[in-house]
Amino acid sequence: MLEVLQIPALKDNYIYLIHDDQSGETAAVDPAEAGPVLQALAANGWELTYVLNTHHHGDHVGGNLELKRRTGCRIVGSERDRERIPGIDIAVGEAATLKLGSFEGRVFDVPGHTRAHIAFWFAAADALFCGDTLFALGCGRPFEGTPEELWQSLEKLRALPPEAKVYCAHEYTESNGRFALTVEPENTALKARMAEVLALRQQNRPTVPSMLKDELATNPFLRPESEEIRRNLGMTNADPVDVFAELRRRKNAF
């Protein structure tokens, strides 16, 4: 079994510990800070094998060096971003694989938010760790890439099995959903999901992970083919990437 432990960090980040109970190997995904990871490891009696970084931003790699110093773990990051991943030991790219005990993680290159963003897909556990590329009801800003690059990255992720669990790195779902309702207000699945999101947040409970099938039904950034979205944007006959770019432009100003 691949166990996933979600650790809140900073203001709205999530760090994940993934643990193979047979081998005892454990990986920390995007450790914003070391302290909460070390506490969780101690509480569970786990030893850290790897750090998996999706991209170089400080709120994803801030704990790298202390975790490496304290645990001797090996740090995995994009081969195209070696100079910006602190302490990197293993550089990976598209279609590379990483063993965590009996589980195999596949790497996807998903640039757009940053030039060298990657995601980790553990097919046997239906678990996608996608950093800031795909959020619950949203997606990352294309800081270092173009909307076209980010859309191509999202196309890779939306082709995964619908039962995939999407472990994104931030609790942005409520604000993302409020934007989604401005462009697809008649989407009944979206309205129902937002009611669930609001109920969870009122109890200070996480809305992450989400299911990819729910993202496909409600996340506007995976739905540029939606007739309602196109109609509300005045882009009925536009190319999907142009619709996506307009959605991202509007979200930036939302």
Active site residue ranges: 55, 57, 59-60, 113, 132, 170
Terminal-to-terminal C-alpha distance of the chain: 41
* Residue set of the binding site for Zn(2+): 55, 57, 59-60, 113, 132, 170
Token representation of residue 188: 């009944």
b/e per residue 24-49 (b: at least 16 CB within 10 A): ebbbbbbbbbbebbbebbeeeebebb
β-pair partners for 108: 119
**Encoded amino acid at 56, one letter:** H
Strand order of the β-sheet with 118-122 is 97-100, 103-109, 118-122, 127-131, 165-168, 210-211
